[in-house]
Amino acid sequence: MKELFVRGVTLPEAYHNAILELHRHGDVVTCGDWGQLQKEAAMTFVAERPLQEPMVSRLYIGGFYELQQYVMEVLDGILDFKMGEEHTWGYTYHDRLVNHNGFNQIEFIVNELKRRADSRRAVAMIRDNKADAYADDPACLQHMQFFIRGGLLHCKVLMRSNDAAEASFMNAFAFVMLQRSIADALGVGVGCYAHRANSYHAYEKDFGLLQQYADGIMGKPIDELTYEYEGFYRELMEESVPKIMEQVERLKKSTKL
């Protein structure tokens, strides 16, 4: 398996570089879990200043509503109620972060970095081998680690598997929002964001989408491929919150029927 590494100043730049590298250098291999081929590589992409504008790539499945909902899933746990035998989800990232076998890992990270700013112990484990080892849908996010260096909070993420075309930007954006939330709790700025996927892939059904993304990245200026988050896009995302919560309440009621 090839090891690929890219970086960018902004989050979209890093993500776009990862898409291009996968498109150009990924290997086409089988994916038995889904009965199709995939283009795959081990990928690390680094955004040196993830809060610098433009922050939002246009090259992902969804829009402001879906991005806001996903951020709220990760940071606020709005869909944690879907877990359990009577529901459809075996885990959520939010639950694994704040209730991993009864332990709140976010509180630990904040307290650990307050205790000692140069600590290397501010780690959140997402994988639960007891739950994930034989699950049909084990957690893709495995591990997050946070460092304060140079007065900034840096975030390192490890994914066992990451869908490049359909999921990776939304994953990274939400994790950067979590990074910002922890930095705010610590009273420090936000440093770099590093996103490592041991299997960074696009499924055969999305080969055309990957090609479309690559063509756009190579052929269009950055302002046609991105949105600025502060102001325009943030307002659209925040305006979608009431509708998101209405849908959440409908889902909660339907699960009780």
In whole angstroms, give the CA distance from residue 17 to residue 1.
19
Q: Spell out the alpha helix ranges (H) of 165-206.
A: 168-186
Residue type, 33: D
Q: What are phi and psi of 182, to 5 degrees?
A: -70, -40
Which DSSP string do the residues of 58-105 spell out, in sequence order?
A: S-SSS-HHHHHHHHHHHHH-TTGGGBSTTSSBS--HHHHHH-BTTB-H
CA-nearest of 4, 49, 35 to 162 is: 4
CA-nearest of 61, 39, 100 to 213 is: 61
Residue type, 190: V
Which of the 8 DSSP states describes residue 4?
A: E
Question: Burial of 122 by CB count in 10 Å (0-12 exposed, 13-18 middle, 19+ buried)?
Answer: buried
CA-nearest of 47, 2, 34 to 169 is: 47
Look-up: residue for tokens 């459809």? 88
Residues labelled catalytic: 140
Collapsing DSSP states into helix, strand and coil, what is residue 166? Answer: coil
